[in-house]
Amino acid sequence: MYTAPLGDIITAHGLKHMIYADDTQLYLVLDPSKRSESVSKLDKCVADVKAWAVTNKLMLNDSKTEVIHLSSRFVKTPSLPAVTIGNSFIDSSASARDLGAVIDCNLDMKDHLKSVTRSASFAVYKIGQICKYLDSNSTERLVHAFVSSRLDSCNSLLFGLPKHDIAKLQRIQNSAARLITVTLDANLGSSTDYS
């Protein structure tokens, strides 16, 4: 209810928006023949949003503001001019974090996959270092908390990706499963080696 006027300000400038907690996103469809007009419209909207924030004793954090220009990887598009926010100029980035997912400018999810595989692989590595001290239930809980949760987060965005991209996630899941079975076999006294 407190941020309802913010939506009215954004809509008055002809932009679409999404507000989630303290995260506000503005969306603008760019007409290639009117790029400068569109960026000017965005600049004016952001200036009004910043003025509203100051009036309501809120702060628009320039350093956390990101601009991303979504386009097809098959069509060469000129770079987006910098967007003015207060005294800062924000250049468009190749990717931006959006509620846990990393969205890249071509929507091919490569940066998101890279982020997920890096963090999940590191978790598998760290659990692997201590699994000889854990029973199978504890290992399984750690795998679910630190590996499966990362692989499952935002996974609906990965639908339709090529198999070679999904295979990276499958390899991590297989490694995590091996951690659990090795711990289980160690607890049962088996000498089975899965490495």
Residue 181 lies in a domain: yes
Number of domains in the chain: 2
Grade residue 131 by pLDDT with cuts at 50, 70 and 90: confident
Residue 166 lies in a domain: yes
Residue 123 lies in a domain: yes
Shared-domain flag, residues 159 and 184: yes
Q: How far apart (Å, rounded) are the C-alpha atoms in residues 81 and 37?
A: 11
Give pLDDT tens digits for 142-180: 999 999 999 999 888 888 889 999 999 999 999 999 988
Grade residue 71 by pLDDT with cuts at 50, 70 and 90: confident
Shared-domain flag, residues 87 and 148: no
Shared-domain flag, residues 63 and 11: yes
CA 159 to chain centre: 16
Cα-Cα-Cα-Cα dihedral sign, residues 129, 134, 135, 138? negative
Residue 176 lies in a domain: yes
Q: Is the pTM of this model over 0.85?
A: no
Residue 127 lies in a domain: yes
Shared-domain flag, residues 86 and 22: yes
How many C-beta atoms surround the C-beta of residue 147 within 10 A?
A: 24
Higher pLDDT, 177 or 22: 177
Shared-domain flag, residues 88 and 49: yes
AA identity, residue 20: Y
Q: How far apart (Å, rounded) are the C-alpha atoms in residues 60 and 46?
A: 10
Residue 100 lies in a domain: no
First-last CA distance in the chain: 56
Q: Specify the pLDDT at position 83.
A: 79
Residue 103 lies in a domain: no
Give the residue numbers spanning the domain of 49. 4-93
Shared-domain flag, residues 11 and 84: yes
Shared-domain flag, residues 89 and 8: yes
